[in-house]
């Protein structure tokens, strides 16, 4: 699967313009910003819809009792900082979340996005061989216990029916969707100024706990 990961990385960099002097970069602040914005807009839309319809979302293992204080962009950045998950791995995780939401008929909200992110990124990293750390490591990065991380992974895999393979066509389609975000229009996403692409992850993890979960 490592070759597929590299192929996806090349395609991602090519479609989104993320290569620097012909060299691949492990993760891009631009992609992080784009995906964060996509998630945030989706959450705002879903929560407004649920409120207007006076409807409660289906509560799953990924839901917290209240929204964590750490923002989506900060949370993704933290995960990338310590796990070396590249842009391709991140987009595969995004595809997994999309599949999960469609399969389970649930809304992406501020109550479930954090657990879905850490779980999908961990599963995507394992499947693409993108720096495969163990569950205890991801649990510490994500701010949950190892026991909960194990439960989240099992639930996520069964909810997806273990459909982890992502074809080149599906991957390209999602890259092109993100490219549209870069090109602008009504969904234009601001780029983060001053951030340089990260080329390696940090060996030590600073503490973080989702106390709101």
Provide the percentage of residues in the chain whose pLDDT is more than 70: 69
Provide the percentage of residues in the chain whose pLDDT is more than 90: 43
Which pLDDT belongs to residue 54?
81
Number of domains present in the structure of the chain: 1
| Residue 210 resides in a domain | no
**What mean pLDDT do residues 129-133 have?**
69
Q: Which residue has the higher pLDDT, 178 or 18?
A: 178
| Residue 189 resides in a domain | no
| Residue 198 resides in a domain | no
Structure tokens at 189: 């996403």
Q: Which residue has the higher pLDDT, 6 or 121?
A: 121
Closest among 30, 1, 2, 24 to 11, alpha carbons compared: 24
Which pLDDT belongs to residue 199?
40
| Residue 139 resides in a domain | yes
User: 51-71, pLDDT tens digit by residue?
Assistant: 898 877 788 999 998 889 899
Question: What is the spatial distance between Cα 128 and Cα 131, in angstroms, rounded to a whole number?
Answer: 9
Band (pLDDT 50/70/90 cuts) for residue 128 is: confident
User: 58-111, pLDDT tens digit by residue?
Assistant: 889 999 988 898 999 999 999 988 887 888 889 999 999 999 999 998 999 999
Query: Is this prediction's pTM over 0.85?
Result: no
| Residue 20 resides in a domain | no
User: 3-44, pLDDT tens digit by residue?
Assistant: 454 454 444 444 444 433 333 334 456 778 888 888 998 999
Cβ atoms 84, 57 nearer than 8 A: no
Q: How far is CA 123 from CA 64, 114, 117, 118, 150, in A?
A: 20, 14, 10, 9, 11
| Residue 204 resides in a domain | no
Which pLDDT belongs to residue 70?
93
| Residue 154 resides in a domain | yes
Closest among 101, 76, 75, 71 to 86, alpha carbons compared: 76
- The label of the residue with tokens 């060299």 reads 23
Q: What is the CATH number of the domain that holds 94?
A: 1.10.472.10
- Max mean pLDDT among 21-25, 47-51, 196-200 falls in 47-51
Domain that holds residue 50: 2-11+26-183
Which pLDDT belongs to residue 149?
97
| Residue 202 resides in a domain | no
Which pLDDT belongs to residue 130?
58
Q: Which residue has the higher pLDDT, 46 or 197?
A: 46
> How many residues are given for the chain?
213
């Amino acid at each position: 699967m490592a070759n597929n990961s590299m192929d996806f990385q090349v395609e991602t960099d090519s479609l989104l313009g993320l290569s620097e002097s012909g060299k691949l970069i492990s993760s891009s602040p631009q992609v992080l910003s784009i995906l964060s914005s996509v998630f945030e807009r989706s959450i705002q839309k879903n929560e407004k819809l649920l409120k207007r319809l006076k409807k409660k979302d289906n509560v799953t293992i990924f839901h917290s009792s209240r929204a964590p204080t750490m923002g989506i962009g900060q949370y993704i950045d933290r995960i990338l900082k310590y796990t070396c998950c590249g842009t391709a791995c991140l987009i595969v995780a995004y595809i997994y979340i999309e599949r999960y939401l469609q399969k389970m008929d649930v809304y992406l909200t501020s109550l479930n996005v954090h657990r879905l992110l850490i779980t999908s990124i961990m599963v995507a990293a394992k499947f693409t061989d993108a720096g495969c750390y163990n569950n205890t490591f991801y649990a510490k990065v994500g701010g949950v216990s190892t026991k909960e991380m194990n439960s989240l992974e099992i639930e996520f895999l069964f909810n997806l029916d273990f459909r982890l393979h992502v074809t080149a066509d599906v991957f390209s389609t999602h890259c092109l969707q993100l490219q549209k975000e870069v090109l602008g229009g009504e969904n234009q996403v601001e780029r983060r100024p001053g951030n340089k692409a990260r080329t390696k992850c940090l060996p030590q993890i600073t503490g973080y706990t989702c106390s709101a979960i």
